[in-house]
Structure 1
Amino acid sequence: MDIAAGLSAATAALTTVKQLAEIDKALSIGELKLKVASLYSDLADVRMALSDAKEALAEKDKRIVELEAGKSKAPGKSCPSCGVLDYRIVTTAPHPEFGVLGGKNVTRACGSCGFSDTDLEVPK
């Protein structure tokens, strides 16, 4: 059950509670028991939805921790060829024309697929 269904069940439970609060004394015991049973059912649905949402959030939190841990272990950029976070700087050298202004030729290579490329990087 998802969060929207849980909210819907909670709304139904609140509606039943409101009906019970407005109950007429002439209401039969059978009708009262039916309303209370409906309330229990709606609240059980709310409880299930909240439990499912809690589990889903815990799974997402665990996945976030895993991804952040993996990112810190692989400080390289994403390789444009294979996408693995193993695209690292191999060499840097002053650019022949823009080296005077701080420009550098930066060569990166991927440790996974071997792809390499050289880019001009300028200071900010």
Structure 2
Amino acid sequence: MVDRVLATPAAEALIGKLRAVHGDLMFHQSGGCCDGSAPMCYPLGEFKVGQQDVFLGRIAGCPVFIGAAQFEYWSHTQLIIDAVPGRGAGFSLEAPEGMRFLTRSRVFTDDEAEELSAAGPPPRGDAV
């Protein structure tokens, strides 16, 4: 099965560091406004996932969600969560670490898009 979301080794290392401090984690791909368009990291359950949130998959064991409207824009791409030096949004757990999560992407190949289409839409809400 094609993954809708992946993490780089740098992101996996930062996730491990954050998990050691905060316990289980989750991500929500922000759609803009005050957070910018960034993957936001929270302690698991701290961000209320709604029925319009789409489950993309897991990175380093952490569930990753995106709002339905944003999913429509990104549905043709694989999201790749990376970690780079710098200060990100103030709401995400990595902000004090001098690192920030960053979303990179690549367009699915025709074969990958066909496989995802055949699998049907991804689940929504927190019933994952």
TM-score by length of 2: 0.20
Which has more radius of gyration? 1
Q: Which has the higher contact order (CA 8 A, sep 6+)?
A: 2
Structure (1/2) with the larger helix percentage = 1
Structure (1/2) with the larger strand percentage = 2
